Amino acid sequence: MNSQIAPSLRPHRRFISPRARRALTERGLDIASLQGSGPNGRIVEADVLRAQTRPAIQAPQPFAPPLSTKQTTDIPIPQMTLRAEVDTGALLEMHGRFGDYALRDSGLSWTPGDFLLCVLGRALHTYPAANRMWCDGAIVDAASIDIGLLSDDEAGQAFLIRDAGHLNLLEAARQRQSSESDAGCEAAQSGAMMVLDASSGRADEARLPLPSGFSGSLGIGRIAARPFVANGELCVRPTLHLNLCVDTRIWSAGLAARFLGFIVEHVEEPNLLVFG
């Protein structure tokens, strides 16, 4: 019986030259990864050198979405918000007495929102420290008392109310109506205060985070009958909610409190706007 192993059953052997074996050991490569180019598949030194220069297969890296420019450059504005509920009974009485007269005399119909614009302009005049902006890392005084007006219509465009420091009701109504019709109005880009007037809608509150370029914002909600404490007694009064948001780099807490108090006082005693 022939004891020789058939060639097809012999263990597979790899033939490698001495120089190739030395190069293989020096480089720490695996012989199984090599393809011999010599006679009968013999591995020569050139095969080892060629295997070393092949690019290594990189493991797949997890996907990481790039940071947007907005994420890396925008710095949140430090801000605080003060809220007040105001009794508007005297204001509505004043509107009832003089609203129709103004319409007949001038063709303009003023609203409680127009009254708030006048009061806000007067407050900026009374507290010049509030009529400032943050520009290039420093506080700068505004050149004039201008107010951005953002109404609750579908356009969503803010317009500038000029020279609001001594604004009267009819001028406020004229500028507001011009902004609503977009008739030659200037878009608001920057200023001390932006107003969101939602008093003619159904929103109980209006809150406006600080828009870019502005150091303060005032949100005006609708007037509605609500439970209210007047003269120490609980009653139902027509009230509105005011939300004042300010840049704390410019505004101190005391300034913001006095400023909002000024507005509340003039809404509850509207004669102060006329005779104050």
Average pLDDT over residues 243-271: 96
pLDDT tens-digit series, residues 66-101: 544 444 446 788 999 999 999 999 999 988 887 777
pLDDT grade for 122, boundaries at 50, 70 and 90: very high
Does some domain include residue 2? no
Distance CA(215)–CA(211), nearest Å, equals: 8
Domain that holds residue 37: 11-52
- Record the tokens describing residue 135, joined without a space: 């520009």
Residues 118 and 249 grouped into a single domain: yes
Does some domain include residue 181? yes
pLDDT at residue 74 in the model = 60
Domain count of the fold of the chain = 2
What CATH number should be reported for the domain holding residue 204?
3.30.559.10
Does some domain include residue 70? no
Least confident range from 49-63, 118-132, 151-165, 255-269: namely 49-63
Residues 37 and 130 grouped into a single domain: no
pLDDT at residue 48 in the model = 77
Share of the chain above pLDDT 70, in %: 79
Distance CA(204)–CA(105), nearest Å, equals: 32
Mean pLDDT of the chain: 80
Residues 206 and 91 grouped into a single domain: yes
Q: What is the reported pTM?
A: 0.68
Residues 86 and 20 grouped into a single domain: no
**According to DSSP H, which parts of the chain are helical?**
18-27, 45-52, 69-73, 89-106, 112-126, 169-181, 253-268, 271-275
pLDDT tens-digit series, residues 35-76: 777 777 778 888 777 776 655 445 555 545 554 444 444 678
Does some domain include residue 85? yes
Find tokens 């003023």 and name the residue: 110
Residues 215 and 115 grouped into a single domain: yes
Residues 205 and 251 grouped into a single domain: yes
Residues 187 and 234 grouped into a single domain: yes
Does some domain include residue 103? yes
Does some domain include residue 59? no
Q: Which residues pair with 150 in a beta bridge?
A: 196
What CATH number should be reported for the domain holding residue 35?
4.10.320.10
Residues 107 and 162 grouped into a single domain: yes
Least confident range from 94-98, 138-142, 150-154, 215-219: namely 150-154
Does some domain include residue 270? yes
Does some domain include residue 6? no
- Cα→Cα distances 265→112, 123, 187, 259, Å: 15, 11, 30, 10
- Record the tokens describing residue 6, joined without a space: 């058939």
pLDDT at residue 19 in the model = 81
Are 139 and 146 spatial neighbours (Cβ–Cβ below 8 Å)?
no
Residues 92 and 47 grouped into a single domain: no
Residues 35 and 170 grouped into a single domain: no
pLDDT at residue 22 in the model = 80
Distance CA(197)–CA(150), nearest Å, equals: 7
Residues 269 and 148 grouped into a single domain: yes
Residues 162 and 261 grouped into a single domain: yes
pLDDT tens-digit series, residues 191-220: 889 999 988 888 899 998 888 889 999 999
